[in-house]
Homo-oligomer: A and B are copies of this chain.
């Protein structure tokens, strides 16, 4: 993660930590203060504060003010960005798989096998 200036790297990087994912999961149910978020974990409040900074810089949460408290709010919109990235390549891969299936089915119907090492090679490069 040496170069994570881009948005997606920050988002994926933020969610690569189980504690942070758990925080996101809990924040989906409702806003919470830093202290409330920290309670279940066996780490210092400062560590939790750091985690929140990572989530904030990734755009996953927003921190406001309420007296001494800093209520944390989940920004659900970033999920769209991730979903879009994932779905793009998921669909692409699935489509390729379907095409491969068609090719294989066509080959089975032929008489000469023609010695093909790996049908997928043609799509590489």
Contact = CB atoms under 8 A, between A and B. Distances in A.
Interface of A: 1, 3-4, 6, 8-9, 12-13, 15-18, 21, 24-25, 27-33, 36, 64, 66, 71, 73-74, 76, 79-80, 82-83, 85-90, 92-94, 96-97, 117-118, 120-125
Contacts of A12: 12-13, 15-16, 21
A74 B96 CA distance: 11
A124 B35 CA distance: 11
Contacts of A120: 30-31, 71, 73
9 nearest A-B pairs in the assembled complex, by CB-CB distance? A30-B123, A13-B16, A76-B93, A28-B89, A12-B16, A28-B92, A31-B120, A79-B90, A32-B124
Given A96-B30, A125-B36, A25 B89 contact: yes
